[in-house]
Amino acid sequence: MTTDGSNGEAVIGDDEVVESWATEIHDQSVDWVVPLNILPYSSHRDGSIFRDTDEWKKEFRIVDRSETNPTDDCSMEDGVCRRHRPRRMVQIFSLKLSKIPVHAGSVELYGYIAARDDLDGLLNYVVNISRDDPIIVEQGSLINMVPKRGIKLGYETLMEYDMKIKTGGSEKDDLQLIDGVSVIDTPDTFHRSVFTCRIHGDCGAIDISASRLDEAVEATVEVIIPEVQGSKLDKEIQLFDGTIVEPRGLGRSVVAVVMRTQMHLKFKIGSEPSGSSEYCCSFMPHCHGHATELVKTGFASISVKVTWSSLPCRWTTLHTLLERYAHDK
C-alpha cells in the first residue's frame, strides 16, 4: 500500500499501541527473523505436493485449487448476526523480497503466496502474479498484497507459495525463488506482537511481517477519487501503487482490526517528503455494516468506504460447503 514518497496506509491500533500497515514495519531494524520451515513433500516444481496421503494435505484439500470467497451469508436475528463474530486472525503487514541472487539487480517476479485456514481450506491469495505480467522488483522491495478475505489463525494455518524469477526464456528456464508450504500456528504467536518470518528458497528469500490479532474483524477498505481539481495538475497524487490524474477507484484492501480499537487511514500526498501533506481519518470496528468518509485535499477528494464483516464459524462454513457439493451433484 506504499509507493515512492506518497502513500495511503492503514494504521491499526489505539492511542497506546499503533501498528502501521506497510513500510513502517520494515523501518524498524529486524534483527530476529524466524525461518519458516517448509513441510516435506510440498514442492510444486516436482509435483510432490499433489502426491502421497499426508494428513495435512487431506485436511486442507490441497488438490482443490479453488479460491476462497469473501465473507458473506449473514444470519440475522433481531438485528444481530448469529453466524459471525470476532475471531483470532493473522494480519500480514508486508511481504519483502529479502534476498535474490548476487548482482541480479532488478528482476521480474511472478507466482503466488496464499493462505489456507480451517474455514474452508481454499486458497486465499495474498499475492497472485501471472508470468505474462510480472512485477519488476529488487532486493529489499515490498510486494503489494491483495487478499480476498481475512485469514483465520487457528492452531495451524498454512502458507502455500510458488514464486519464480522470470529469465526471459520459457518457464522451465526460470529461477525458483520459493516453493512449498509452511505452517503459522497460534502457540508461536502473541496478540498484537509483530513477528517476521523468512521463507528461504533456491534463489532467494521472502520476509513476511505479520501479527496475531485476537477478537478481530475484517475491514474491507475501498478508496475512490471522485473529483480531481482542474484539468491539468502540476503535482500528481500517488496512492498505494497508482498515480491519480483523473477520477477513478483504487480497488479494495482487506485488513484485520481488533474490536474496541481504531483503524486509522493515513494518506500522504506529494512526491517529496518535504513537500508532502498528510490527511487522516479513523474508523471504529463493528461486526457488520459500513462507514464512509470524504477527505478533501487541495488537489482532489478522497472517498473512503469501510465495510465491516466477521469470519464465520467453522461449522457454518462446513455446512455451506456440503450444501454446495450436494447442489453440484
Phi-psi domain of 121 (left: phi exceeds 0; alpha: psi -120 through 50; beta: other): left
CA-nearest of 116, 35, 105, 90 to 216 is: 90
Whether residue 15 is contained in a domain is answered as: no
Whether residue 45 is contained in a domain is answered as: yes
Whether residue 105 is contained in a domain is answered as: yes
What is the residue whose three cell numbers read 501498528? Answer: 19
Three-class DSSP labels, 147-202 = CCCCEECCCCEEEEEEEEEECCCCHHHCEEEEEEEEEECHHHCCECCEEEEEEEEC
DSSP state of 275: G
Cα separations in angstroms, 272 against 26, 89, 148, 167, 189? 20, 36, 32, 34, 37
Cα separations in angstroms, 72 against 18, 68, 197? 29, 12, 31
What pLDDT score was predicted for residue 107? Answer: 95
Q: What phi, psi does 154 have (nearest 5°)?
A: -105, -160
Q: What residues make up the domain containing 206?
A: 22-214
Cα 220 to Cα 231: distance, rounded to the nearest angstrom: 31
Cβ atoms of residues 89 and 151 within 8 Å: yes
Whether residue 108 is contained in a domain is answered as: yes
What pLDDT score was predicted for residue 52? Answer: 76
Helix residue ranges, H only, 200-313:
none
Whether residue 153 is contained in a domain is answered as: yes
What pLDDT score was predicted for residue 252? Answer: 81
Whether residue 162 is contained in a domain is answered as: yes
Q: Is the pTM of the predicted complex or chain greater than 0.85?
A: no
**Burial degree of 193 (CB within 10 A; 0-12, 13-18, 19+):** exposed
Give residues with Cβ within 8 angstroms of 52, minimum separation 6.
41
Per-residue pLDDT of the chain (329 residues; tens, 9 = 90+): 332 333 444 444 443 333 333 333 344 334 468 899 999 999 999 999 998 778 899 888 899 999 998 866 666 666 666 667 888 999 998 999 999 987 778 999 999 999 999 888 999 999 999 999 999 999 999 998 888 899 999 878 999 999 999 998 899 999 999 999 999 887 778 888 888 999 999 999 999 999 999 999 999 988 887 766 653 333 344 345 555 666 667 778 899 999 999 998 888 776 555 567 888 899 999 988 899 999 888 777 889 999 998 887 664 554 454 454 455 55
Torsion of CA 269, 252, 111, 170, to 10 degrees: -80
Whether residue 328 is contained in a domain is answered as: no
What pLDDT score was predicted for residue 47? Answer: 94
Query: Could you tell me the three cell numbers for 172?
Result: 522451465
Cα 222 to Cα 225: distance, rounded to the nearest angstrom: 10
What pLDDT score was predicted for residue 49? Answer: 95
What pLDDT score was predicted for residue 272? Answer: 57
Q: What phi, psi does 263 have (nearest 5°)?
A: -105, 120
Q: How many domains does the chain have?
A: 1
Whether residue 84 is contained in a domain is answered as: yes
CB burial readout 127-149, b (16+ within 10 A) else e: bbbeeeebeebebebbbbbebbb
Strand pairing category for 34-35 and 194-201:
parallel
